[in-house]
Every structure is written in C-alpha cells, then in structure tokens.
Chain A
C-alpha cells in the first residue's frame, strides 16, 4: 500500500458524504457520542476501508450477530490490541499486494479502541504501531472516560474525582479517584517522532472530526486520533445534552482541540480562539455541575480542577499538549 485512498478535505458541513456506512442495528444508548464518532469516522473514510474494533462499548453494544451496523468489512480485536490489529491488517495487505497475491490498491485500515482498551491496556501496542512508518493506518481512541460497557468503572482516562462503580464517593472518602487523566496525544506525539499525524477531536465539531480522519488516512504511515465522547450513562446527564457537553468540555478548556501535522501543532476551533485571546475560557464549574458524576464535589474540589486546567493553559508547553515548560536559564 504505497499510496493512500484519495480523500480530499471536506469544505463545509453540507459536503460531508451522504452515504451511511455505520447504519441501523447497533444498540448504543440514546445520546451516545461514541456512536456518532463511529458514524463520522466511516463517513470520512469511505467504503474502501477495513475497520477493526477492540472490545468496549463500540463492540459489545454495537456489533451483535445478525444486526451489525457496519457496511464495511469489520473485525473484532481484543481489548488491548487496537495497535496490533492495525499493524497486522496493514502488514497483511502490504505483503499480499507487494507479492502480487492480491490486487494492488489503496485500502484504509482503521482500528478503534475505548479509553480503557487504548490508554490503559493497549498503550504499548499503540505505541509500537506508531513506530512502523511503512504501514498506513489510523488508531482512533473514543474516550467516554470510563469502562462504560462493563458498568462504568474508573479508567486511566476518568477525570479526577468522578463517581464510578469503582470510585464511589463514601463517608470516609469523598474523592476515590485521585488520579489525573492521562494525556494521550501529547504523550504519543512526544514519544513517536516518526508519526506524521496525531489529533484530538470531539463529535460536537463534526466537520473538524471528518477532516481529521481524512488527514490521518491520507498523510501516510501510522496515525492517531483521540476523541472526547460525552456518555449519558457514565457521566449522568440527560441524553439530549451530549452535543452541548462536548462543546462545554472544549469551551472550559478541559479538552483542547488540536492536531499535530508533521511535528507542527495547530489548535482548532474554540481552542484556537481561546489561545488567541478571542474567546474567554468558561469556568469548569459550568461543565462539572451539569453531570451527576461530579455531584458530590465541594467548592474546593471544583477549585482544584479549575486550578489544574489553568495550569494546562498557562504552564504547559502548548495548551494541554505537553505538561512541561522550558525553564529560562
């Protein structure tokens, strides 16, 4: 697969392809943003695509025998195997094409994983997959901030203090999850200098997400996208607010929209406007108070989170990108 599928950038939301390749048959919850990520992802990629999905909501709720929503070829992979699945699929196709055993043509390879499968268990395999410049593929991490399919357990990507079935607030300890969310794109960008494209995304900004998937699939080599996906069940809110919560995550600065193309950092959408001073960051309280998982928070807890987000914007190298700043000597 020397070349990639021709996928030009989409100008304007009306030009997003009309064909649905993630159709009826899935059983995700009302208001599930991860399902929307799947739909946008495959709309962007088109039908010359193989999708491999690791265990998680988007497998268990999505892909029931006889009612699969996938129009494109789709295969399950293990919880921590999205990176290996992408490498294996791309390597198999490459070998068969090079040796003339199948027709030489560009085929997109996408492997997706949830936050538990990707950022916890699958981290080493994703890291390895990003060190193979000879294979074209995209690993997409859909992050609903918990092991949502197995009853909402805390993951390495759950926010500080969030109530989950493994981190319930109690009489002796109000805050059970004392860990700060892992920073996947920054970590992978810093650690994989050969990786040409990495991005954060959010389905509330559908056109941005569509174009990011297309960039990831056309630039060549292994790429990575991390989307933040509001989850009515895990975050505890009325499903009709999914879109709004996605926007709030970005407007409060908790989630930063950006892409790194060949080592160049570009902020996107509201994150760009905030960084340029054209827009003010909203207080995190507006985001936290909309979700039941933070209902036990005291004003001090909210202040703590606000302080950490301020740090991300004021002290990190790039807002929310790398938690390091260069010390003037």
Chain B
C-alpha cells in the first residue's frame, strides 16, 4: 500500500459533499452561500462542517448571488482562499460579478450545480448555465463522479492560484445526477493535501496597506487590449499548468486518468465515438458496452476541461475515428447548424485535419431528462447511416423529444 492509501479513508458521500470536504481539506478562508437548487447542497454541507469545527472560514450567507460572488471576489483580492457557487438562473444573477472576477484575474473557485435556466421552471440538469462563462476568462471543467469532484476541487485551487494563471475556475457538476447521488469516495488525509496545495500567495498584487496599489482603474482604449491579451496568455499558460498539476496530483495521491483533458471509453478500434460532458457518460457507457457485445465498433469520449480547451490533443485523439456524435446537454438557438455548444467547438477543432471525420450534433437530456440506452442506439444508427452514405443530410437531431 502507498502512503496515500494508508492515510485516506472511504466515505459514502454525494458530489456536493465531496466538494464541501475539499473546502475543509484546502483550508478555504471565505465561503459565501445563497440558496438555489441543486448546487446549494454543497453549502449545507459546508455550513455543517463550519458548525462542527471541521472548517475554519468566514461563512457568509449573502443576500443574493451577485453579492455572493462580489464578496468572495473582494476577499480574494486581500489574499484569502475562497469558494462559492450557484446554479441555473442564480449563476446568471451573479453574472456581472462573475465577469469582473475573471477581468481582475482573481482565483475564485466556484461550483456550478448545472441546472436548466428558467422559464419555465425546471430543476434538472442542463449545461447552458456554466457554458455562459466560456468566453470570459473562467477556466471551466465538468466532473462526472463524486471522487472526481473532490480531486478536481483540490486541483482547481492549485491551478487557479498559480501566479502563471490567476484565473477563476468553475467546477461543473450535473444537478441531481452528481450533486445528490452518494458513492464511496476516497478522502485523502489533510497532511497530504497540505503537501499538494501550497497557501494562496497573491504576491505584489495583494490589496493591503503595506502594498498600496490601485486595482482596476479606468483604462479605456489606451490599455484594454493589452490587458485582454494578458488574460489570453494566462489562459494559454493554464493548459500547461493543468498538466503539471495533474501529474503532481498523481504523485501525491496515486490517482488520475491518462489525460487531464478527456477520458476515453472503449475507443480502441472504434469507428464511431460519442462525445459528451458530465454524467451522461454513465448511460452512454452502458449503451456502448451493450453494442460492443454485438460487435458494433463504438466508443465514448468524455471531455473534462472545456476552458482551456485542449485543442491539439483532442484533435489528434478524434482524428482516429470515422464518425463522431456529439451529445450536448445544452442548446445554442440559431447557432451554426443549430448545433449544441460542444458540437460547434469540436467541429472547429477538427477543421484543420486533411481527412475529417463526419460530425453530427445530438441535443439530449435537457432539463434532467434521462438519456437511455435506447437513445444511444438511435444516435448510433443515425451516425452509421451517415457513414454508409458518406453524406450528412441533417446535422442536428433532438433526441428523446415527444411530438
């Protein structure tokens, strides 16, 4: 047994609780809460940890999501490690604060418990809430298990607080499927986390009377482009930092998949692969397994980091396949080909290839609707047909919709 294995303990916890436990292990200084389902479960666990003395932080219940994100933004500026989060329209209520957090290069770590955007009211998962930050300078990833949620949270502070990066990071966890389901999670020992995660040091950018700087003065056209370019460079550097941190995580805790950016399932010799994010991996993998039993050469790829997007790696990996079905748990009304957000990103990634796979867009599982094996079989037939004819008659399909 490795030291990590000797020291870790197994706990039956949900995805939300796993992130709350990560807050305790990471010794977070300021946490702000505001209730909205389903992310708010993380704050229920956080408040209990605070009440029981397992987490020493300023725990502030704000009066709105906007204030929730503003409070941690300012706490981060004076050098505090912070955490907050939201879901659905709550995330949108905070959007002004979310936007400036990236502009200010503050390493706020947030959890998005993915939820459909009202109206009409719906609690179930959709990815449009978190995806809204894709252009703003937030790092953004999707986790699919409670273990991955805990591990990714620990890495998120490390990556965000790296002075080469100093960007906020959102951890997306599918509402209900991940936020509320319990599994056995390996919880590492605090001493190992301390070894892995150094204290947040804002350096000469910290706001303190001993360092009387001015943060975010008016710059207008004189300087804005240079500042935007700096953020762009930080996001480019973030990709390398993510790789470094995953390697180190593996070294300390003995866990991790071959690539930080994506995860392949039964892709060896596959002709068709489905690509998606979050917990839809579960039913898709079940369907893939069943089709494999019948000799269908099909596989699945789960994208883990959406920002930064690992363009080169994902392009090379996907170039091995003939047909790709992108399953989006989101929509982008009026987008190119009326496709999902991930679909259009991937199609753009594949464009420079001399020999491009066929790419089809599937919209499925909106509002938390279950994606069933039958749906995956249906999608497979559509991709197969396109491969047989060599033609894409229709680029986008809504799967599992009545009427």
Kindly state the separation between the CA atoms of A95 and B58 in the bound complex, as whole angstroms.
6
Q: Across the interface, do B79 and A84 meet the contact criterion of CB distance under 8 Å?
A: no
Q: Is B218's CB under 8 angstroms from A84's CB?
A: no
Task: Let me know if B207 and A65 touch, CB within 8 A.
Answer: no
Of B63, B73, B80, B217, which contacts A63 at CB under 8 A? B217
Identify which of residues 267-283 in chain A touch chain B, using a CB-to-CB cut-off of 8 Å: none
Interface-side segment among A45-53, A204-212, A234-242, A247-255: A45-53
Please determine whether B74 and A107 come into contact, CB atoms closer than 8 angstroms.
Answer: no
A101, B214: Cβ atoms closer than 8 Å:
no
Asked if B78 contacts A93 (CB within 8 A), the reply is yes
Most chain B CB neighbours (cut-off 10 Å) among A49, A77, A80 = A77
Task: Decide if B199 is an interface residue (CB 8 Å cutoff).
Answer: yes
Q: A29 CB to closest chain B CB, in angstroms?
A: 16
Cross-chain contact A125 with B207 (CB below 8 angstroms): no
A127 to B82, CA, bound (A): 23
Residues of A within 8 A of B222 (CB): 65
**Which residues of B are found within 8 Å of A132, using beta-carbon distances?**
60
- Mark interface residues in B185-212 (1 if CB within 8 Å of A CB, else 0): 0000000000000010000000111011
B373 at interface (Cβ–Cβ under 8 A)? no
Contact with B along A82-125 (1 / 0, CB 8 A): 01110111011111101101100001000000000000000011
CB distance from B90 to the nearest CB of A (A): 15
Determine if B16 is an interface residue (Cβ-Cβ < 8 Å): no
State in angstroms the CA–CA spacing of A15 and B103 once bound together. 42
Note all chain A residues with C-beta closer than 8 A to B213: 73-74
Within 8 Å of chain B (Cβ to Cβ): is A71? Answer: yes
CB distance from A226 to the nearest CB of B (A): 20
Q: Is B100 an interface residue (CB 8 A)?
A: yes
Which residues of chain A have C-beta atoms less than 8 A from B223's C-beta? 65
Nearest-neighbour CB distance to chain B for A132, whole angstroms, equals: 7
Instruction: Determine if A72 is an interface residue (Cβ-Cβ < 8 Å).
Output: yes
A88 in contact with B70 (CB, 8 Å): yes
Hey, which chain A residues are within 8 Å of B80, CB to CB?
91-92, 95-96
Q: Closest approach, in angstroms, between the C-beta of B228 and any C-beta of chain A?
A: 14
Establish whether residues A92 and B78, one from each chain, have CB atoms under 8 Å apart when the complex forms.
yes
Is B63 in contact with A73, judged by CB distance below 8 angstroms? no
Q: Tell me whether A65 and B217 are in contact in the complex, defined as CB-CB below 8 angstroms, given that A95-B30, A101-B29, A125-B67 are known contacts.
A: yes
Q: Is A59 in contact with B207, judged by CB distance below 8 angstroms?
A: no
Given the contacts A73-B207, A125-B66, A92 and B79 also touching, CB distance less than 8 Å: yes
Contact B199 A65 (CB under 8 A): no
Give chain B nearest CB distance to A244 CB in angstroms.
Answer: 31
**Contact, CB under 8 Å: B209 / A92:** no
Q: Are B29's CB and A99's CB within 8 A?
A: yes
Question: Given A48-B209, A95-B29, do A70 and B214 touch, yes or no (CB 8 Å)?
Answer: yes
Q: How large is the interface on B (under 10, 10 to 19, 20 to 34, 35 or more residues)?
A: 35 or more
Closest to A64 in B: B218
A73 proximity list for chain B (CB < 8 A): 207-209, 211-215
Q: Which of A110-155 contact B (CB under 8 A)?
A: 124-125, 127-128, 132
- Write out, one digit per residue, whether chain B residues 60-71 have a CB within 8 A of any chain A CB (1) or not (0): 101110110011
Among A49, A87, A124, A127, max chain B CB count under 10 A is at A87
**Contact, CB under 8 Å: B218 / A63:** yes
Indicate whether A124 sits within 8 Å of B64 (C-beta atoms), given known contacts A63-B214, A73-B213, A95-B29: yes
Q: A76 an interface residue at 8 Å Cβ cutoff?
A: yes
Is A81 interfacial (CB 8 A cutoff)?
yes
In the complex, A125 Cα to B67 Cα: how many Å? 6
**Residues of B69-125 whose CB lies within 8 A of A:** 70-80, 82, 96-97, 100
User: Do the beta carbons of B30 and A88 come within 8 Å of each other?
Assistant: yes
Q: Is A68 an interface residue (CB 8 A)?
A: yes
Query: B199 — which chain A residues lie within 8 A by C-beta?
Result: 101
Q: Are A89 and B67 in contact (CB under 8 A)?
A: no
The reply to whether the CB of A75 lies closer than 8 angstroms to some CB of chain B is yes
B29 touches A92 (CB 8 A): yes
Residues of A within 8 A of B82 (CB): 92
Residues in A neighbouring B30, C-beta threshold 8 A: 88, 91-92, 95
Q: Is the CB of B79 within 8 A of A125?
A: no
B219: Cβ under 8 A from any A Cβ? yes
Q: Is the CB of B215 within 8 A of A74?
A: yes
Question: Does B298 make an interface contact (CB < 8 A)?
Answer: no
Contact B64 A91 (CB under 8 A): no
Given contacts A68-B217, A92-B80, contact A84 B70 (CB under 8 A): yes
Identify 29 residue pairs between A and B in the complex whose beta-carbon atoms are under 8 Å apart, listed by A's number: A50-B207, A50-B209, A64-B219, A65-B217, A65-B222, A74-B212, A74-B214, A78-B97, A81-B67, A81-B97, A84-B62, A84-B97, A87-B71, A88-B70, A88-B71, A89-B77, A91-B58, A91-B71, A91-B75, A91-B80, A92-B77, A94-B58, A95-B75, A95-B80, A96-B78, A98-B56, A99-B27, A107-B209, A125-B64
Sample of 9 more A-B contacts, CB < 8 Å, known A64-B218, A81-B67, A89-B74: A49-B209, A73-B214, A78-B100, A81-B66, A84-B97, A88-B70, A91-B71, A93-B78, A99-B29
